[in-house]
Amino acid sequence: MTAVEIRNVAKTFRKETVDIVALEDVSLAIEAGAFLGLQGPSGSGKSTLLNLIAGIDRPTGGEIIVGGQDIARLSEGQLAAWRNHTIGFVFQTFNLIPVLTAFENVELPLLLTKLSKGERREHVETAL
């Protein structure tokens, strides 16, 4: 079963009057349960690809299907809800809020769910 399917994906960034092509005609299928590594030189599109799969950014073209859902076609609200229920992402720079404790940083995204305080605490303690 395919968990992630990327079909002819392109991503172009615009900087002033210059278009910067980060990805062009990328296709990839990742089977459920597979482990893989993504490597390449700086600027080769690794982070861009991961941000697209996670729904953090949108492709310029193509389809990104995660769990049977074409996330490139979701509205901003639908995409936010999808990310909240579907994706877990560990950022390279952690993006921690310095005034919060480790517990509070882990709990913060869970405040957007319907979990009770006890359920949130259980999730946080398991994660930590």
What pLDDT band is residue 85 in, cutting at 50, 70 and 90?
confident
The pLDDT tens digits for 21-66 are: 999 999 999 999 999 999 999 989 999 999 999 999 999 999 999 9
Helices (H), the chain: 46-53, 76-86, 102-107, 117-127
CATH 3.40.50.300 domain locations along the chain: 2-86
2-86: CATH topology is Rossmann fold (3.40.50)
Beta bridge partners of 28: 6
The pTM score is 0.75
Give the whole-angstrom CA distance, residue 104 versus residue 107: 5
